[in-house]
């Protein structure tokens, strides 16, 4: 959340990285830093050793991958401010675009890997209390007077921006919808929100541990994780009639890998994410894999769902300016007299 926790974590991570090889007798081990967003902690904790084994078999060299997690925007800023990330695996393309605009990442980064450089996808779902006591089935149910909705602040949380866009997409597609009617829906929706946490994990904690609110708008993987952690007698997942295909992208940070000489390893690490082995790990952590066969194996986890994409909003640049930048819709909703 704050930069200081990040630094502390980074230092702990770096220290662990320094200490780990001391036990073994391996000379000149490569170390990569993967700077990621909040809910991928568990995923990369499993991916990293798997890649380590593959890399050792291929090159005979050991590799250590340190991971750092925080809100996606905060992480992008940390990399901009000099955090030496070999790869970034963030919540939305806009955050890597910001790095590209400042020369840390090649402008064509999104074309360098398959599937828009997003090796896994997710979507936005509702997490409700067990038995769904408020009868929440779709977006309009969120406006019922006695329903409190938990979502983090889209200014600080990538997940919250996907939440916002999913709701906006639904509102825009109602019969007779206009820009004004969609804005009105968003305004009423956000007035059902009692707390704006700064990150997705914070919002999950508010909902599950503090018992706050009736519906949590969450990443699908975060919702499944919460259900697994706290049991189906605590909460259940509701799929709305329409949601958004969230594509969390990955990229090598060109300026860092060229300086450190880690381009080959960093690229291999990201390409590994597309292999059958990694895709299976991805599915086990409730992200939607790109590999159709792996997707088939876990199909019962991923109900077919009508989804829009960020392209339906004209891409991140436009969406960002319209909804989340200073003076955008989110600001207007919370500023009186506008």
Partner 1 sequence: MRLRTSRSALPGFALTLGITLAWLSLIVVLPLALLVLRPWTLGVAGVWHSIAEPRVLAALRLSFGAAVLAAAVNVPFGLLVAWVMVRYRFPGRNLADSLIDMPLALPTAVAGIALTALFAPKGWIGMLLTPLGIKVAYTPLGILVALVFVGLPFVVRTLEPVLMDLPLEAEEVAATLGATRAQTLRRVVLPALMPALLAGFAAALARGIGEYGSVIFIAGNMPMISEIAPLLIVIRLEQLDYAGAAALALVMLLASFAILLLLNLLQWRMGRRAS
Residue 13 near residue 68, CB atoms below 8 Å: yes
Question: Smaller CB distance to partner 1: residue 49 or 194?
Answer: 194
Instruction: State the nearest-atom distance from the C-beta of 148 to partner 1, in Å.
Output: 11
Question: Smaller CB distance to partner 1: residue 52 or 328?
Answer: 328
Question: Smaller CB distance to partner 1: residue 99 or 283?
Answer: 99
Residues of this chain that interact with partner 1 (CB under 8 A) are 1-2, 5, 71, 73-74, 77, 80, 98, 153, 155-156, 193-198, 202, 209-212, 325-326, 331, 334-337
Residue 247 near residue 308, CB atoms below 8 Å: no
Please return the burial class of 296, using the count of CB atoms within 10 Å of its CB with bins 0-12, 13-18 and 19+: exposed
Question: Smaller CB distance to partner 1: residue 119 or 199?
Answer: 199
Q: Which of 178, 186, 230 is nearest to 208 (CA)?
A: 230
* Backbone conformation region of residue 15, classed left if phi is above 0, alpha if psi is from -120 to 50, else beta: alpha
Instruction: State the nearest-atom distance from the C-beta of 90 to partner 1, in Å.
Output: 12
Instruction: State the nearest-atom distance from the C-beta of 223 to partner 1, in Å.
Output: 21
CA distances (Å), origin 234, targets 128, 180, 209, 228, 229: 9, 37, 10, 10, 10
Instruction: State the nearest-atom distance from the C-beta of 238 to partner 1, in Å.
Output: 22
Looking at the chain, list the stretches that DSSP marks H as alpha helix, in order from N- to C-terminal side. 3-23, 41-59, 72-80, 93-101, 114-117, 158-172, 179-190, 200-208, 220-230, 254-260, 263-272, 276-284, 292-297, 316-319, 329-334
Question: Smaller CB distance to partner 1: residue 157 or 243?
Answer: 157
Question: Smaller CB distance to partner 1: residue 100 or 307?
Answer: 100
SS3 314: coil
Instruction: State the nearest-atom distance from the C-beta of 161 to partner 1, in Å.
Output: 12
Instruction: State the nearest-atom distance from the C-beta of 156 to partner 1, in Å.
Output: 5
């Amino acid at each position: 959340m704050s930069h200081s926790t990040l630094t502390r974590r980074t230092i702990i991570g770096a220290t662990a990285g320094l200490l780990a090889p001391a036990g073994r007798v391996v000379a000149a081990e490569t170390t990569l830093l993967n700077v990621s967003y909040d809910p991928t902690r568990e995923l990369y904790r499993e991916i990293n050793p798997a890649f380590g084994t593959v890399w050792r078999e291929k090159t005979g060299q050991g590799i250590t991958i340190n991971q750092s997690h925080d809100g996606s925007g905060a992480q992008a800023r940390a990399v901009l401010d000099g955090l030496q990330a070999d790869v970034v695996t963030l919540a939305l393309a806009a955050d890597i675009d910001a790095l590209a605009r400042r020369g840390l990442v090649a402008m064509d980064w999104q074309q360098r890997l398959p599937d828009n450089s997003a090796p896994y996808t997710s979507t936005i779902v509702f997490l409700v209390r067990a038995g769904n006591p408020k009868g929440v089935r779709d977006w309009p149910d969120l406006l019922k007077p006695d329903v409190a909705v938990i979502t983090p602040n889209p200014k600080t949380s990538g997940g919250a921006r996907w939440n916002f866009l999913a709701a906006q997409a639904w509102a825009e597609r109602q019969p007779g919808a206009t820009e004004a009617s969609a804005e009105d829906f968003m305004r009423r929706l956000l007035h059902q929100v009692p707390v704006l946490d700064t990150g997705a994990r914070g919002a999950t904690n508010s909902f599950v541990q503090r018992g706050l609110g009736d519906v949590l708008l969450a990443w699908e993987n975060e919702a499944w994780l919460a259900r697994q952690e706290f049991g189906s007698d605590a909460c259940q997942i509701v799929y709305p009639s329409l949601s958004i295909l969230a594509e969390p992208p990955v990229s090598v940070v060109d300026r860092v890998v060229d300086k450190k000489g880690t381009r080959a390893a960093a690229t291999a690490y990201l390409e590994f994410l597309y292999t059958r082995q990694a895709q299976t790990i991805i599915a086990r952590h409730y992200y939607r894999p790109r590999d159709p066969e792996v997707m088939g194996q876990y199909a019962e986890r991923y109900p077919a769902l009508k989804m829009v994409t960020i392209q339906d909003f004209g891409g991140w640049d436009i969406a960002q300016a319209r909804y989340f930048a200073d003076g955008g819709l989110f600001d207007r909703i919370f500023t009186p007299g506008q």
